[in-house]
Structure 1
């Protein structure tokens, strides 16, 4: 029992830490394959940016942010840049 006027400290947990993933290398994949790979881990992504790229198959991933090998949490957003004819 705690005396009525005693100070009490309370520690509140925010829950378990968010799992961390390693950002996969997506450059060269088509956009759908890259999105499927991200969705398999429950990772969110933004609408891809497009870059005019003559001679490259349309919807090919040209860049990604964060870069490959970077730590990634499920709450992070991934930005892809894809080719457009």
Structure 2
């Protein structure tokens, strides 16, 4: 779990839309409270990058359904899928 948490923290430091895909990959595996916190912080920190790309259809989560759900849930944005 610590390696996944470090990966999530590291991806938040890379200001690109696709960085959130690393966090989503970590969400595919079991998480603890530390990973959950790091994950939510990464999603919020990168939101200005990944959300516009996601809405334009430029961000592909592939088979990471659980990760996509976790990202959307952690984003705290109602209506993310409305546009």
Provide the TM-score with structure 1 as the length reference: 0.30
Write 1 or 2 for the structure with the bigger share of helix. 2
Provide the TM-score with structure 2 as the length reference: 0.30
Write 1 or 2 for the structure with the bigger share of strand. 1
Task: State the structure with more CA Rg.
Answer: 1
